[in-house]
Amino acid sequence: MAKLTGSLPPLFLASQSPRRRDLLEQLGLHFSVYVPQVEELVAPRKRGARSPEAIVKQIAEQKARHAAGELRGKGEKQGIVLAADTLVFLGRHVLGKPHSREAARDTLRRLSGREHTVATAAHLLHWDGARERAARVAVKTKVRFTRLSPRFLEWYLDSPEPWDKAGSYAAQGIAASFLASLKGSYSNVVGLPLPETLAALEKL
């Protein structure tokens, strides 16, 4: 594939996340958003031997393969699909997207004053006819929250921000005020580790 200084095949972001779209736009790349017609894949919540990186890598690959298969079925002869998945872990417990105010409150109480891990994987799948090549990215960031007072927590839950977010918060929004420390990639916490994703794209 041509390097980024040259021409790219059609690039498809297989995500409906506006945060990933905004991050990818920062790279100055031309791309289309294509959301595969599959239900959202959910990580197992039980403890197990698999690491956070292994879990998100598996989900990101499944998303990419679903999207590439559908695009091929629509007549796309070549292209690159970029799919990603982000999960928040407290220890080995997955803190997913909240299904209710109570679930979001419970998650944020657990994160209050503690360090947790944000893991994001990106899977890039390039096809040209019958040929395929893939590149994978998996990044972890350690985040520590300040202590959240009950009053502030309820105020935050009144905002639209916790919904549809892994861990019930958005680091680029109001929840930036929660961050006591961050070790690693900030863009990874938002939803896509930019340096690593760009390096993977160049390898295809």
One of 22, 85, 106, 128 is an active-site residue; which one? 85
Active site residue 85: yes
Catalogue the E-assigned strands of the chain: 11-13, 32-33, 78-90, 93-95, 115-128, 131-145, 179-183
Which residue type is seen at 171?
A
DSSP designation for 191: T
Environment class of residue 29 by beta-carbon count within 10 Å: exposed (0-12), middle (13-18) or buried (19+)?
A: middle
Query: In this structure, how many other beta carbons lie within 10 angstroms of the beta carbon of residue 20?
Result: 24
Residue appearing with tokens 């294509």:
34
Q: Would you tell me how many other CB atoms lie within 10 Å of the CB of residue 66?
A: 18
| Residues annotated catalytic, as ranges | 85
